[in-house]
Structure 1
Amino acid sequence: MPVLAAIAVLAVLILVHELGHFIAARSQGIYANRFSLGFGPIIWKYQGSQTEYAVRAFPLGGFVGFPDDDPDSDIPPNDPNLLRNRPILDRAIVISAGVIANLIFAYLVLVLQLGIVGIPEKINYQPGVLVQPVNEQSLAYQAGIRERDIILAVGGKELPASENSSTLLRKEIQNHPNQPIELTVQHENQQRTLKLTPEKGTDGKGLIGIQLGANGTPIYRRPRNPLEIFSIAAKRFQQLVVGTLSGFGQLITNFQQTAGQVSGPVNIVKVGAKLAANDSANLLSFAAIISINLAIINILPLPALDGGQLAFLLIEGVRGKPLPSRIQEGVMQTGLVLLLGLGLFLIVKETTQLEWVQKLFQ
């Protein structure tokens, strides 16, 4: 059930994104003849008065199709309601509407979560720091640290029940590049001592490849009024957007160290399923985070993404005329093939790393 819930969340986010494009087009009177979830062969479809709605075999996204380049369309090429015949601003609204829809949806999900779960008032801290290896190639994982292990001490110094414990652990790791450190780790109900040597990062600081989290349980209270919910949701939304942008920035500026953290659909579902198994309300946080990530990824100026199409519009605005159709189509088709190829590669890679799959080959 948690896995199905996580998959359902991803499906909803794709639906929200494509609905943004679709509604932006139809509200301006622009023709949209296809609305599809997924790519590839059609599994199910329904023909409406103007639009074909379909679910396709490969759930790696979706698309809204326009009759502009459909050879079977009976709409005259000079019809003003074809997307390509609209002013640049109208087209920009349609192209960017998916990103805007995901951002609005993320904010509303945070509002819903605060309204249902409550406002976090404080955290009941326990000794140590909750950790998770960034991937199976990290030093931490190779040394035996697993997800949801608790590091109780570093270098013989106990990590207290405090919000500062994560900072203390991070500093100790960063201050010992290429120097061995000793960690006291609690795995489930057992404690053990591990010794490992942090790698020296590009900034000269030590790295072992773990994510740090507070070892504590949040205590919630009921909202005082609706305005408080919207205000706190806005602050949390801003934090998530800034954090996501920072993560993408690190991926670009420090690709070698962060590329291993890039996840595909299988790992995303895996994370969502674990969150749902711990607390079903966590699915709301999961939905907000993934929706923001989906929005930011799509606005990147890369072929086959919304940002790539907006880049073409910018070039058109500067030149006073669009790039030749063959150039745009070639770039977009190449980008789509690369994007689908990357998605399939990540699916295969992450599927083979699942425990139950590995057992089949033992």
Structure 2
Amino acid sequence: MGIAMTILVFIFVLGTMIIIHEFGHFAVAKLLKIRVETFSVGFGPRLFGFRRGDTDYRVSIIPLGGYVKMKGENVDEQLTGAPDEFLSRPKWQRFSVAIAGPGLNILTALIIPAVAAMISFQVPAYVVQPVVVGSVVPGSPAAQLGLQPGDRIVDFRGVRDPLWQDVELKITANPNQQIPIVVERNGTRLSMTLVPAGHRADGEIIGDAGIIPEFPKDYVEVNAVTEGSPAQAAGLRRGDKIVTFNGHEVPNFPWLSSAIQYNGERPATLTILRDGQKLELTTTPRIDPDGKARIGFSPVWRNIPMQKSRKSLIEAIKYSVAKNYELIVITKDVFAQILARERSVRDSLAGPIGIAKVSGQAAERGWESLFALMGFLSLNLGIFNLLPIPVLDGGVIFMLLIEAVLGLFGLPFTMALREKMNQVGLVILLLIMGFVIYNDVSKYILPSDQSPPQTQQIQPANK
């Protein structure tokens, strides 16, 4: 997808999330008859808009957020005590206005997957099946642990009889973290500790264990070879069928792609089938700017079996709640790893450039992926705004709590104290914004770390 289209998709995604968030504040304020002076998508000088009643609806020049300005909500205003001023209202009403924005974002995150599941619930068939190992990538954590095709994972970090959808996301989110598993093999259960390797992809560090599901077994046929790539230099051609990689039989493309990643920038041997004859080629994968090891060809795609169904309303709600809860748990795990200095902040956070990139990639995959991303971003936007940082919604709620506690002791929550807290909150927010933007620029525009993928050495807990 081109840069212009990526920007348009980014504006649509971010703009929609902002409008939903601010509409929550706006709707509750209007319902409580608090005067809303401005509804802005974006910050800074006004670009265009219109006025209706007491409210100026506008689009502002910096498209990285938005705000609803209510009468009498800022301490530097001339407060008169009029009933339509925000600070004149009871605490429960101010709380209701503050919670409405992130609340509507979280509600949106629940609605999107629920509606999608009721319209057309389509997933690869394997993700709703038990975790039976189809193949193991050489050199991967799974290979070093001794996992074998046919092994079934019956316990994954305390989850009994997990499905592939329970396991894949947790592996991705936990690079270099110990994960206790129980494997069933020929009627015997073995306790092991799996440590996913950390691989760089699209500027992020993601976990990978080298476990491939039971995909249909087929040769990987070359559809096209990239100009100037290692594959072209090795003599790979369209129509070639890749039979082995470094002496290991190639069962499918996901296995081969993962094997190339673990091989890194070391010479590799391919056995190919061309016109009924087997040939051996030697190539050295190259680490691309996105951090992935590639040899430079695209395969003839074999469709992965899909499962299609429509869920009932109750099933869709349960599914949506479960998916969002899983995302919250994984987000918590990521931040716990950051605080424990087990994961780099740089490799874990994405700002506007990162969001624009994944928005474009999601749009290329189709509307289902794009709306799934919007649901994920809406959930994160809602949770972020609940942080107790003054100037965020959570900060407003935090100050209401302070006001209530001081009131129990007959002490006032002065305008001066409120103003100082808002100033501190603004500085914190600006520092966060500055960091994520700098982080984005260093990762996506001026990348400096393109080291080959690393594999974590591991040992079984029990043999």
Q: TM-score range by the shorter chain?
A: 0.7 to 0.9
| TM-score for both structures, normalised by structure 1 | 0.72
Corresponding residue number in structure 1 for 2:280: none
RMSD of the TM alignment (CA)? 3.9
Query: Following the alignment from structure 2 to structure 1, what is the Cα–Cα distance between the partners of residues 261 and 96?
Result: 56
Query: Separation in 1 of the partners of 2:392 and 2:341?
Result: 21
Q: 1:227 to 1:71 in 2, by over 3 A?
A: closer
Q: Does structure 1 retain, via aligned residues, the 8 Å contact 2:349–2:436?
A: no
Q: Structure 1 residues 37 and 230 mapped into 2: Cα distance closer, same or farther (>3 Å)?
A: same
Residues 1:307 and 1:358: Cα distance change in structure 2 (over 3 Å): closer
Would the alpha carbon gap of residues 16 and 173 (structure 1) be closer, same or farther in structure 2, given more than 3 Å must change?
Answer: closer
Match of 1:257 among 343, 363, 375: 343
Asked if the contact 1:152–1:186 (Cα under 8 Å) also holds between the matched residues in 2, the reply is no
* CA distance, structure 1, for counterparts of residue 17 and residue 23 of structure 2: 10
Q: Aligned runs of 1:158-177 on 2, under 5 Å?
A: 160=149, 163=164, 171-172=194-195
| CA offset digits 1:236-287 (Å, max 9, x no partner) | 2332333334444444x42563422122121122122222223331112111
Contact 2:141/2:195 (<8 A) preserved = no
Structure 1 residues without counterparts, runs of 5 or longer: 130-149, 175-181, 196-209, 211-215
Question: Residues 354 and 444 of structure 2 are in contact (CA less than 8 Å); yes or no, is this contact kept in structure 1?
Answer: no
In structure 2, what is the equivalent of residue 342 of structure 1? 432
The total of aligned residue pairs comes to 311
Correspondence for 1:85 among 76, 88, 92 = 88
Q: Does 1:155 align with 2:155?
A: no
**TM-score, normalized by length of structure 2?**
0.58
Q: Alpha-carbon deviation of 1:347? A: 2.3
> Helix, strand or coil for the counterpart of 1:354?
helix
Separation in 2, partners of 1:72, 1:48: 25
Quick check: 2:121–2:311 contact (8 Å CA) kept in 1?
no
Alpha-carbon separation, structure 2, partners of 1:218 and 1:289: 26
Task: Describe the shift of the 1:39–1:337 C-alpha distance in structure 2 as closer, same or farther (beyond 3 A).
Answer: farther
Gaps spanning 5+ residues in structure 2: where?
A: 128-132, 153-163, 172-178, 182-191, 198-208, 211-245, 247-254, 266-290, 292-302, 449-463
Q: From the CA coordinates, give the structure whose radius of gyration is larger.
A: 2
1:223 deviates by 1.7
Q: 1:187 to 1:15 in 2, by over 3 A?
A: same
Residue 268 in 1 paired to residue 358 in 2? no
In structure 2, the partner of 1:112 is 115
Identity of aligned residues (%): 27
What is the Cα deviation at residue 51 of structure 1? 0.5
Is the Cα–Cα contact under 8 Å of residues 154 and 172 in structure 1 kept in the other structure? no
Q: Quote the residue 2:14 is aligned against.
A: 10
List per-residue Cα deviations over 1:202-228 (Å, max 9, x = no partner).
xxxxxxxx9xxxxx9573322253332
Q: Which amino acid aligns with 1:77?
A: T
**Cα gap change, 1:192/1:81 in structure 2, threshold over 3 Å: closer, same or farther?**
closer
Flag the structure with higher helix content: 1
Q: CA deviation at 1:153?
A: 6.2
